[in-house]
A and B are shown apart, each in its own frame.
Chain A
Amino acid sequence: MDEVILEVKELHKYYDLSKENVVRALQGINLQIKKGEFTAIIGPSGSGKSTLMHIMGALDTATKGQVWLDREEISKEKISGLYKIRGRKIGFIFQGYNLIPTLTALENVMLAVEYSGRKNNAKKEATEILTDVGLGKRLNHKPNELSGGEQQRVAVARALVNKPAIILADEPTGELDTQTSMEIITLLKDLNKKENQTFVLVTHNPEIAKTCRRIIKLRDGKIES
């Protein structure tokens, strides 16, 4: 139960906008996420939440420091090789659902299986997981034929389908009304409980943050508490 799934050591990220203007987005972040944890990262805009999530999600590289995911040091990888880690070990849920508009719900989820390199049972696995999130009857609908809540469920299914080490959710309820937001959070918490799936939520919604067992507060690129 107490296995560390994600560890961040002395993480720094600087953006050189010009010679005199260096933005220090992250300044020495240290953080451990254990398997099965449900964590929220909160903080005002500009606090470095998104930058931290991008680096933990292998979308970006750090200027200094280490990131370990599932006992593998991903901060050693070159940016061009990070796609493998994203495909196999990380699931993303975005604020704007970010589904491919021309693909059906099923195809959107299958795409994640294909990109992970395991093609064998893409259709079966995608169907199962969509049924689990309550979309068994909407498999062949395209995003524009689904409600916001349904689209976000597809995104959840897509993040989940490869059984990643960690799921990173960036403002997952940002575009949903209060009731639908709570439904999505409930869904995530169910998955967390049933599958022991690790979640990290980035949010600035205190209501959402309150439902999480652990809250990490970020301010000016540093962990406040």
Chain B
Amino acid sequence: MKIIRNIFRRKIRGALTIFGIAIGIFALVVMGSLAEKLNKLVQGGLEYYGTRITVQDAKSGMSFFGGTPLSISKIDEIKKIEGVKNAYASVEMLKEDDISGVSFGVPDSIGGYDPDQMKDDPSAAMLTIATGRDIQKNDIRKAVLGSDMPKKLNAKVGGTIKLKGKDFEVVGVYDKTFSAPDNSISINLPDAQELYLNTLPAAFRSSVKKEDIATSISVLVKDGFDPNEITKQINEKVKDVKALAPDEFKKQIASSVAIFNLIIYAVGLIALIVGSFSIINTMIMSVTERIREIGIKKAIGASNFRILREFVLEAAVMGLLGGLMGLLLGWGTVRIINAITASSGQIIFLTTPRLAIGSVAFSTFLGAFAGLYPAWYASRLNPIQALRSE
């Protein structure tokens, strides 16, 4: 209480200083929420894709969707390698051929899988049904939607959606995963092969057998075998394919995410550092105004350390108050924006507990740090001279 009273001795000055920090924390929370959402998306994707070896056509780039098709016949060759538990084809493509306009996060995609094969895949356990049912072996023109899709497509179980010009019946919706699958539509493999074939140039189409198309092959490894070793063997023994080990995959993703995070947090940090200068300024003024008081305190027995502690604490409380205020503002803003964009099926921000606690703790620490010099100056004052000052 005493500390709060001291901060608000000069009400406007105290409030402005705290507001300065609040703006910094506001920026950090909003930008951080953006980064956290992205991290969560990527993390979910890593768990989803990162548990298996992904085999693509050798000419294909580092792309999850489309790329050059691969022949399903490669599966037999892959299965011959020791340590491979299972390998199955999937056909993945973007829902829209042309993604123009600004879009945040993962673009909507269509994935075709063989439901029987998926039962073995540990990553499939991540996807659970919220309403309706999952894709079954003999389904034709049936679709199960990722959790964000019903809103985007204005569809529900029992309704019909159009995929690449064909009608599909919605039979189920998955639970929310907060990652890539939320923006995807699952269909049966033969349906996906047909849709994919139609996207190929006409001249190319006749030379490809529909049943032979895959965009990637997922390889599951038996327990006790090293996925990296098996990846190496696939690359050596199977022609015209490129196998990516889970680790490699994670590394590539992690490095690009790190740079993005760095940029985002740097922006918030700069705002906060500016705010901390106003704490230094306020504390120096505060010390100058209270020199006589410091003299009194020393005369009645306060140690230098005690004086230092009082002022550092006061600065830390300013940082804390600014941090809490900034967090509240940032969190509120993020919630409002999320509420607005949620209607179009996009959630842009995610304020995680670690971000909330981290930013308040950081502003408190920064406050204390900013108060260190003024406090040190105050603690070193000569009590007699301090008592004489007016």
Contacts and interface: CB of A to CB of B under 8 A. Distances in A.
B293 A100 contact: yes
A107 B2 contact: yes
B306 interface: yes
A126 to B, nearest CB: 13
B6 A83 contact: no
B344 interface: no
Nearest to B306: A115
A84 interface: yes
B296 interface: yes
Contacts of A92: 299-300
A87 B304 contact: no
A116 interface: yes
Contacts of B302: 83, 87, 115
B384 A87 contact: no
A111 B384 contact: no
Nearest to B5: A102
B387 A87 contact: no
Given A54-B384, A60-B384, A115 B2 contact: no
Interface string A138-166: 00000000000000000000100010000
A98 B387 contact: yes
A8 interface: no
Interface in B241-294: 292-293
A59 interface: yes
A86 B296 CA distance: 11
B5 A115 contact: no
A59 B384 contact: yes
A87 B301 contact: yes
Interface string A109-137: 00110011000000000000000000000
Interface string A44-75: 00000000001001011000000000000000
B141 interface: no
A111 B387 contact: no
Contact of B303 (A57, A60, A83, A103): A83
A82 to B, nearest CB: 9
Contacts of B297: 100, 111, 115
B383 interface: yes
A15 to B, nearest CB: 12
Given A59-B384, A98-B296, A100-B293, A112 B2 contact: no
B300 A158 contact: yes
B2 A59 contact: no
Nearest to A107: B2
Interface in B363-390: 383-384, 387
Contacts of A94: 296, 299, 387
Interface in A24-52: none
Nearest to B303: A83
Interface string A155-188: 0001000100000000000000000000000000
A83 B2 CA distance: 22
A57 B295 CA distance: 13
B22 to A, nearest CB: 24
B298 interface: yes
B304 A102 contact: no
A83 B298 contact: yes
Given A103-B2, A107-B2, A115-B306, A84 B9 contact: no
Contacts of B5: 102
Given A54-B384, A59-B384, A100 B299 contact: no
A97 B293 CA distance: 11
A80 B305 CA distance: 10
B301 A86 contact: yes
A62 B187 CA distance: 93
A107 B300 CA distance: 13
A222 interface: no
B384 A86 contact: no
A98 B292 contact: yes
B301 A112 contact: yes
Contacts of B9: 102
Contacts of A88: 301
B300 A112 contact: yes
Nearest to A112: B300
Contacts of A60: 384
Contacts of B303: 83-84, 115
A162 B299 CA distance: 14
B317 to A, nearest CB: 14
Given A59-B383, A103-B2, A107-B2, A80 B304 contact: yes
A8 to B, nearest CB: 18
27 contacts: A57-B299, A59-B299, A59-B383, A60-B384, A83-B302, A83-B303, A84-B303, A86-B299, A87-B301, A87-B302, A92-B300, A94-B296, A94-B299, A98-B299, A99-B296, A100-B296, A100-B297, A101-B293, A102-B2, A102-B6, A102-B9, A103-B2, A107-B2, A111-B297, A111-B300, A112-B301, A115-B300
Interface of B: 2, 5-6, 9, 292-293, 295-304, 306, 383-384, 387
The 3 closest A-B CB pairs, nearest first, are A87-B301, A115-B301, A83-B303
